[in-house]
Amino acid sequence: MVSNQCQFIGQRIRDGHFRTLYGAAVLAICRGGERVKGNLGQVRLQPADVLLLEARPPFIERHRQSRDFC
């Protein structure tokens, strides 16, 4: 889940280079209990967005303490 301290709040996923920075691809976004539809690269992240990610196992260890996720 995206924390309220995430550096990308208000930015589009594509503009924040999410995949490059985190080594993970966003497959889906859930906001307020509903799946966000459309081009995910154009979605502006908001606090409490739940992200379904495709990532390698090291992602968990690298970002476990990140302020970007909770």
Residue with tokens 């990610």: 53
Which residues fall within 8 angstroms of residue 28, CB to CB, at 6 or more apart? Answer: 35, 36, 40, 51, 52
The Cα 43–Cα 60 span in angstroms is: 23
The Cα 68–Cα 15 span in angstroms is: 16
Q: Domain tally for the chain? A: 1
Q: What is the pLDDT of residue 24?
A: 93
Tell me: pLDDT of 64 over 90: no
- The CATH number of the domain holding residue 44 is 3.30.70.1450
**pLDDT, tens digit (0-9, with 9 covering 90-100), for 16-43:** 888 998 999 999 999 999 999 999 999 9
- The CA-based diameter of the chain, rounded to the nearest angstrom, is 30
Structural domain including 6 reads 1-70
Q: What is the pTM of this model?
A: 0.90
pLDDT category of residue 3 using cuts at 50, 70 and 90: very high
